Structure 1
Amino acid sequence: MPIEEVVRDSIYIGLSGWGDHDDLYVEGTKPGDKLKVYAQHFSILEMDNSFYAIPAPDRMYKWSIQTPDDFGFIVKAYQGMTGHSRGKIPYPDMRSMFEAFKESADVLRKENKLKTILFQYPPWFDCDRKHVEILKRTREWMDGYSVALEFRNRSWFAPGYRDKTLQFMRDEGWIHSIADEPDAGIGSIPVVLEPTQSHATMIRLHGRNTAGWHSSGEANWREVRYLYRYNTEELQEWKQNLLTLLNSTQECWLIFNNNSGGDAAANAKQLMGLIGQETGPDPIRQMEWL
């Protein structure tokens, strides 16, 4: 059965990026029009292009005005800020890189459309004192901004460290970004249904393609890793997980990142239907099936 309205309205479901979800757009839709169309389907978005390059403030403003007043952006931190670039950054130093990113994100904050900034750290970012210090410094440099934290190394949630990790996130003001991903060794993390901030919790569904999770050496690794469609039973499981989380957090922001096979939009619409939300226009591929 659909969940109660007050709970249903506390759940925001969207996708990672807006350009690659062909199911949402009629043939011939211009790239510059896709965000406006995306916002007809979903009320929240994970901006992933900011991971590859920090958007200029004027471009960020153009994206902002293409969306409704109540639309929310989750902006993914630039790869140089999370160590993915292994120290290679096109800025004089780390601090100036952070300042450039904040200048960009501040455009959305002034428009009341910035939900949070997501810091997803790489698999080699393990539970080590030097990395704890990096997280503390990052939080200090991002003072005044909402920030979310997602790990890709399970040592943070190993026995003896799980509760310490969660308490650290609470104390430092990090929103927990809960990941649903394969159980694929040290470079993956379990589902940890623990909010760390009372106002919001983030969830990212990466798919459960165990065989493809460690495909980073392949030319098409991104397509292989995120090739997965959640079935109805798995989505029902996440419906219950959302209800559990909302016992101790005011909002849940859930992002589907299983993009490579065109499954994210359809799965998002399916979950929205399961919790009783309006699903908006049908995806193009679904319309073709009718």
Structure 2
Amino acid sequence: MIYIGVTGWGDHDRLYGDKLSPRNKLLEYGSHFPTVEVDASFYAVQPERNSKKWVADTPQGFQFVVKAYQGMTTHTRGEIPFQSRKEMFDAFHASLAPYQSAGKLAMVLFQFPPWFDCTRENVEYLRWCRAEMDNVPVSLEFRNQSWFTGKRREQTLDFMERESWIHAICDEPQSGEGSVPLVLQATNQEKTLVRFHGRNVYGWKKPSSGNWREVRYLYKYNRVELQEWVTRLRMLEKQSKDIFVLFNNNSGGDAAGNAKEMIELLNIEYEGLAPKQLDFF
């Protein structure tokens, strides 16, 4: 099955309009898409009460892709409020319990930064992370080209398969060392993740002025670009039982529209979505 959604549920005004209360957005989101990426978990390990609410706000069968906390993926934005890696991973595990109990955890996404290159030390850290996550499905996204350069491409894919990492395949700008090529190969027979970051090369290179994080994902896929992916997704579907597709190109509000268009192109009709809300007070 191909599950299509977007990253986060709060910033899609074209989906909800401008009158919907923020506390009801996930309720409404579940009437449009069967999956979502939880990005709040990247900035802070979420308390279980949040996870419980999000699980309760979505229909049975809905699937969450939960992004790993930034400290777990060697990002260093602000102070990490844990005394050790072990404590950090244990806290993150606890935050996953509501998703797991409800059968709504598709996977945890480990997205590593551009400076996380292919070295022995980093390979060992990936092994440690995988062991710490135990039986939780985990996907792996690189943002450094060295993992897929030359013979390392097959070595990386073989490593991911042996260590039970789900390949996070990315459609993203090709801008040198800080981006990865399109590698259309699954490493897990059960699940594969595909993330659409847009193709804004200028924004991806981190311009020196302005809000570069907003610019990075400022891109709207056209019909031809999406149509190219129909064949690719059908091919990946032969390699993995379930394909999770997430659009992350939302700086200009285009993610939800592109996701809807992809559903149309694939001729998918999802069953079990939440009923659409006529009004909220």
TM-score category (smaller protein): over 0.9
- Cα offset, 1:119, TM superposition: 0.1
Give runs of aligned pairs for residues 1-290 of structure 1, distance below 5 A: 10-85=1-76, 88-215=79-206, 217-278=208-269
Describe the superposition over 1:133-187 as per-residue Cα deviations: whole angstroms up to 9, x where unpaired: 1000000100010000000001000001000000000000000000100110000
- The count of corresponding residues between Structure 1 and Structure 2 is 273
- Cα offset, 1:218, TM superposition: 3.9
- Cα offset, 1:50, TM superposition: 0.5
What is the rounded CA distance, in whole Å, between the counterparts of 2:53 and 2:34 in structure 1?
A: 17
- Cα offset, 1:26, TM superposition: 2.8
TM-score (norm 2): 0.94
Q: Structure 2 unaligned segments of length 5 or more: list them.
A: 275-281
What is the rounded CA distance, in whole Å, between the counterparts of 2:127 and 2:178 in structure 1?
A: 22
Describe the superposition over 1:224-257 as per-residue Cα deviations: whole angstroms up to 9, x where unpaired: 0000000111101111100111121111100000
Q: What is the letter of the counterpart of residue 261 of structure 1? A: G
- Cα offset, 1:278, TM superposition: 3.1
Cα contact 1:80–1:88 (8 A) shared by 2? no
Q: Percent identity?
A: 50
Cα contact 1:52–1:79 (8 A) shared by 2? yes
What is the rounded CA distance, in whole Å, between the counterparts of 1:216 and 1:49 in structure 2?
A: 25
Q: What is the letter of the counterpart of residue 96 of structure 1? A: E
19-28 vs 119-128, greater mean Cα deviation: 19-28
What is the rounded CA distance, in whole Å, between the counterparts of 1:110 and 1:226 in structure 2?
A: 34
TM-score (norm 1): 0.91
Q: What is the letter of the counterpart of residue 247 of structure 1? A: K
Cα contact 1:216–1:222 (8 A) shared by 2? no
Q: State the 4+ residue runs in structure 1 displaced beyond 2 angstroms.
A: 216-219, 278-281
- Cα offset, 1:219, TM superposition: 4.1
What is the rounded CA distance, in whole Å, between the counterparts of 1:22 and 1:62 in structure 2?
A: 21
What is the rounded CA distance, in whole Å, between the counterparts of 1:34 and 1:216 in structure 2?
A: 32
What is the rounded CA distance, in whole Å, between the counterparts of 1:145 and 1:251 in structure 2?
A: 16
What is the rounded CA distance, in whole Å, between the counterparts of 1:49 and 1:221 in structure 2?
A: 19
What is the rounded CA distance, in whole Å, between the counterparts of 1:66 and 1:87 in structure 2?
A: 31
What is the rounded CA distance, in whole Å, between the counterparts of 1:142 and 1:251 in structure 2?
A: 21
What is the rounded CA distance, in whole Å, between the counterparts of 2:142 and 2:79 in structure 1?
A: 21
54-63 vs 210-219, greater mean Cα deviation: 210-219
What is the rounded CA distance, in whole Å, between the counterparts of 1:88 and 1:193 in structure 2?
A: 36
What is the rounded CA distance, in whole Å, between the counterparts of 1:181 and 1:152 in structure 2?
A: 10
Q: Who is 2:278 aligned against?
A: none
Cα contact 1:149–1:176 (8 A) shared by 2? yes
Distance 1:272 1:30, change over 3 A: same
Q: What is the letter of the counterpart of residue 34 of structure 2? A: S
Q: What is the letter of the counterpart of residue 227 of structure 1? A: L
Distance 1:36 1:188, change over 3 A: same
Q: Structure 1 unaligned segments of length 5 or more: list them.
A: 1-9, 282-290
What is the rounded CA distance, in whole Å, between the counterparts of 2:77 and 2:124 in structure 1?
A: 17
Residue 185 of structure 1 aligns to a residue whose secondary structure is coil
Distance 1:184 1:137, change over 3 A: same
